[in-house]
Amino acid sequence: MKFSLAWLRDHLETTASVEEIADTLNAIGIEVEAIEDPAQKLAGFRVAKVLTAEPHPDADKLHVLSVDAGDGQPLQVVCGAPNARAGMLGVLGLPGAVVPANGMELRKSSIRGVESNGMMCSVRELELGEEHDGIIELPEDAPVGSSFADYRGSEPVLDVAITPNRPDCMGVYGIARDLAAAGLGALKPIVVESQPGTFPCPIEIRTDDPHGCPAFFGRVIRGVSNGPSPDWMQERLKSAGQRPISALVDITNYLMLAYGRPAHAYDLARLSGAMVARKARDGEQVLALNEKEYTLDSSMTVIADDEGPHDIGGIMGGEHSGCDENTTDVLLEIAYFDPEKIASTGRKLNLTSDARQRFERGVDPAFLETGIDLLTQLIRTICGGEVSELVRAGAPPSQPRIVHYRPVMAETLGGIAVPEVEQKRILGILGFEAVGETAELEQAWAVTVPGWRPDIDGAADIVEEVIRIHGLDKVESVALPRADGVALPTATPQQKLERRVRRAAAARGMHEAVTWSFLPESEATAFADEQNALWILANPISEDMKAMRPSLVPGLLSAARRNLDRGANGLRLFEVGRRYLRGEEGASDERPTLAVVLAGERQARGWATGKAVAYDAFDAKAEALAILGEAGAPVANLQVMGEAGPQFHPGQSATLRLGPKNVLARFGMLHPTMLRAFDIEVPVAVAEIYLDSIPAKKGRETFARAPYAPSSLQSVTRDFAFLVPRDLPAGDLLKAVRGADKANIVSVRLFDDFRGAGVPDDGKSLAVEVTLQPGEASYRDEDLKAIAGRITAAAGKLGATLRG
């Protein structure tokens, strides 16, 4: 939110400098993001008088001006403005000045062969408005040679960040109130005159949606003249980043920015019948002021007449009922809308506005009548007109909120002993009314919360108000007490496990990603287990963050797509986080998980390798097995089974299980439909490891490696080539061979898979290397033959025979 120092001083009587104001705002919790000084942008621009204006000798639309910049020596300037003429006063940018609109530095130059010493400037070039058809024309009494910034009287502009819990500071008056409480001046009272009507309101006003719009106040002003707003108001709006439009529109914007109270003005001639706050009908459409058409539903509140809706209630007005230069009769609307309804409607329509920001945070429900009187007063002063009687349809929430607060809590909870007198002063200026109660409540106060502070809910919030205004810097730093002795470990076994697998994944050359725990509902549905319902948020950050993720893979795929779109050839990403499933009877179920995404090229093209090599399912399997091994899972006992899920390629994916039901991981190539859904054009291999499914270690938890103790006897390797059925998984053969003699066989490795000449059409040849390790004595020939026999017999149970 932006506002000028002059605007702040309209509401705060202070002599503080802009630096002191900024320091105080930061100290009381209103962060100042920037201080803009328009005078700095206008450095190098002077008030100048055009002495002569002659046609350019080599350009029909250019003039050669002789300009007096106050130095006694006329300067020659080439200008293309149609209003440039002798005797006029304008603004001259001297060489070295920087044009605010485009950042161009002016310098002495030659234009069509004629020397030019600077530039005569337009309103748009100095970012003072939108006019650009000609150069600025100043009054005849403007002092020639003076700095244009000094002549114009530019004020510094503060840009502050307002946290969502402080809707009272969404207006300049609210910020002035906080500064007054902090001792930086005196808050000026709101001066408003009662605006009695001289004729009955000619249009019916009512609310048929008491939940969405509990209160709708309105009145008509006829005979107005809607020209430009006064210069002082335009300056205020420009400092806030608003573009002045017309007096009626500017006045409503001024009320919103000054007091945080949105309002709207309708051209009465464009309305038909009664103006009603009601629920929208499914399929109704509104062409809003941003020139976009929105389709509404019955959960939304609109302001409508007999012809249809004119306003998306509390968010944005309609295009066809707005005021323009021909407006003579105007209907003023100021209403109170339910914050939750406003937030829900804004999200559904993906529509943001200044009004929505204020209504969904919570405006002061008691400011309706004061607000419409201020609005009426400004319009009558600037535009004239005759005022009707005020119509009050419905009533805003008016139940006072009272918080029981003990002054001693400032010390016990906030850490500062603030005198009671000071506490009452602070609360009083902030708008709270503190009244002492009986001693039975330990000198408690009954604190009435003002309507503009919907964030105050309990005594702790009162402590926060007192401490932040008194000074957060006065809270002493006190070390927490520490017990004697060595501190006990605080990490849980699950945290230690996640640390191990995170390090293991990073050590294998993968990059860790951290993605949102929320997904678009479509992506969450695509990766949800059909046996578990999704968690859908009732109040999401946005429609694209509506569902809690049932898998970590969608977030990683989005991250992979962003990197691939920016030129990455190959990606190795992993994430450790939580999946969120709906448990039994709707209970929340969080599952610790590690996901891996391998996308694009595993190996770049080269003279030795030829074409680039893409990642495949076996790469994902290798990563899953390596991480499971580091996590302490019994990798040798894992079974490779199908049913990885519809998100995976059915012929290039599988699961790793301990038994038929305990799934430790799934891996494989992503299904082409998933790749299209995420707009990815390269193959993607994925592994998802379920850390909560890894069986816990029995006894004392330890993952330290056993000491390295090699045998003094030489190991022996033997190769076996088996003819097996074509549909037999190689993993089943390896497991059978490994189990044939556990005392002697230390490893089994597949090194060949052959299908072709000499092999039956319904079979394949699998060659394995078996490593044997003798224990107490070297192997004899009969020992090796016995082991080979056991290996052949174990393989034979799977239908395997030795290949001749």
Task: Decide: helix, strand or coil at residue 611.
Answer: coil
CB-count burial class (<10 Å; 0-12, 13-18, 19+) for 310: buried
pLDDT digits (tens, 9 = 90+) for 681-707: 999 999 999 999 998 876 555 555 677
Q: Which of 279-283, 530-534, 652-656 is the least confident region?
A: 530-534
pLDDT for residue 441 is more than 50: no
How does DSSP classify residue 149? H
| Amino acid at position 661, single letter | K
Cα–Cα distance measured from residue 155 to residue 38, given in angstroms and rounded to the nearest whole number:
7
pLDDT digits (tens, 9 = 90+) for 467-488: 999 999 898 888 888 888 887 7
CA nearest 730: which of 745, 759, 751? 751
pLDDT score for 629: 93
Q: Which of 21-30, 212-221, 400-409, 482-491 is the least confident region?
A: 482-491
pLDDT score for 707: 78
pLDDT band at 607 (very low <50, low <70, confident <90, very high): confident
Q: Which residues contact 197 (CB under 8 A, 6 or more apart)?
A: 219, 387, 388, 389, 390
pLDDT score for 129: 75
How does DSSP classify residue 81? -
CATH topology of domain 205-394: Phenylalanyl-tRNA Synthetase; Chain B, domain 3 (3.50.40)
pLDDT score for 440: 46
**472-481 LR contacts (CB < 8 Å, sep 24+):** 472/27, 472/29, 473/27, 474/416, 475/414, 475/415, 475/416, 476/415, 478/415
pLDDT score for 437: 62
CA nearest 530: which of 645, 676, 661? 645
* Reduced 3-state DSSP string for 98-111: ECCCCCCECCCEEE
Task: Decide: helix, strand or coil at residue 320.
Answer: coil
Report, at the CATH architecture level, how domain 40-152 is classified.
Answer: Beta Barrel (2.40)
pLDDT score for 776: 86
pLDDT digits (tens, 9 = 90+) for 287-326: 999 889 999 999 999 999 999 999 999 999 988 888 989 9
Cα–Cα distance measured from residue 65 to residue 63, given in angstroms and rounded to the nearest whole number:
6
Torsions phi, psi for 667 (to 5 deg) = -150, 165
Q: 679 among the known binding-site residues?
A: no
Helix (H) or strand (E) segment spanning residue 341: helix 339-349
Q: Supply 543's token pair.
A: 């429609």
| Mean pLDDT along residues 443-460 | 92
pLDDT score for 37: 83
pLDDT for residue 763 is more than 90: yes
pLDDT score for 41: 83
Cα–Cα distance measured from residue 577 to residue 518, given in angstroms and rounded to the nearest whole number:
12
Q: Is the pTM of this model over 0.75?
A: no
CATH code, 2-37+156-187: 3.30.56.10
**Separation of first and last alpha carbons in the chain:** 84
| Amino acid at position 421, single letter | V
Torsions phi, psi for 338 (to 5 deg) = -65, 125
The tally of CA atoms less than 13 A away on the side-chain side of residue 281 is: 6
- Higher-scoring residue by pLDDT: 195, 456: 456
pLDDT for residue 434 is more than 70: yes
CATH topology of domain 401-473: Phenylalanyl-tRNA Synthetase; Chain B, domain 1 (3.30.56)
Cα–Cα distance measured from residue 209 to residue 274, given in angstroms and rounded to the nearest whole number:
15
Cα–Cα distance measured from residue 417 to residue 722, given in angstroms and rounded to the nearest whole number:
85
Q: 465 among the known binding-site residues?
A: yes
The tally of CA atoms less than 13 A away on the side-chain side of residue 323 is: 29
Q: 783 among the known binding-site residues?
A: no
pLDDT band at 587 (very low <50, low <70, confident <90, very high): low
Cα–Cα distance measured from residue 252 to residue 354, given in angstroms and rounded to the nearest whole number:
12
How does DSSP classify residue 599? E
pLDDT score for 538: 82
Cα–Cα distance measured from residue 750 to residue 744, given in angstroms and rounded to the nearest whole number:
18
| Amino acid at position 397, single letter | P
| Amino acid at position 549, single letter | R
pLDDT for residue 634 is more than 80: yes
Q: Distances from the Cα of 568 to the Cαs of 562, 597, 602, 675, 679, in angstroms? A: 9, 14, 12, 17, 15
| Amino acid at position 148, single letter | F
Q: Enumerate the H helices of 223-317 as residue ranges.
A: 231-239, 247-259
Mean pLDDT of all residues in the chain? 91
CA nearest 339: which of 325, 322, 355? 355
| Amino acid at position 352, single letter | T
pLDDT score for 478: 84
How large a percentage of the chain has pLDDT more than 90?
Answer: 73
CB-based contact 558:678 (threshold 8 Å): yes
Task: Decide: helix, strand or coil at residue 567.
Answer: coil
| Mean pLDDT along residues 7-17 | 95
pLDDT for residue 131 is more than 80: no
pLDDT score for 438: 47
CB-based contact 527:551 (threshold 8 Å): yes
pLDDT for residue 801 is more than 50: yes
Q: 461 among the known binding-site residues?
A: yes
Instruction: Report domain extents, the chain.
Output: 2-37+156-187, 40-152, 205-394, 401-473, 493-693, 716-802
Which neighbouring-strand residues pair with 3?
158
Q: Distances from the Cα of 431 to the Cαs of 403, 427, 792, in angstroms? A: 14, 6, 90
pLDDT score for 535: 86
CB-based contact 301:313 (threshold 8 Å): yes
pLDDT band at 532 (very low <50, low <70, confident <90, very high): low
Q: Which residues contact 145 (CB under 8 A, 6 or more apart)?
A: 46, 47, 48, 68, 69, 70, 71
What number of H helices and E strands is found in the chain? 20, 41
CATH code, 716-802: 3.30.70.380
Q: Distances from the Cα of 265 to the Cαs of 372, 376, 389, in angstroms? A: 11, 11, 16
CATH code, 493-693: 3.30.930.10
pLDDT band at 661 (very low <50, low <70, confident <90, very high): confident
Q: Which residues contact 137 (CB under 8 A, 6 or more apart)?
A: 83, 88, 89, 90
pLDDT digits (tens, 9 = 90+) for 350-401: 999 999 999 999 999 999 999 999 999 999 999 999 999 999 999 999 888 9
pLDDT band at 72 (very low <50, low <70, confident <90, very high): confident
pLDDT score for 177: 96
Q: Distances from the Cα of 380 to the Cαs of 53, 251, 327, 604, in angstroms? A: 44, 11, 14, 75
Same fold, 2-37+156-187 and 401-473: yes
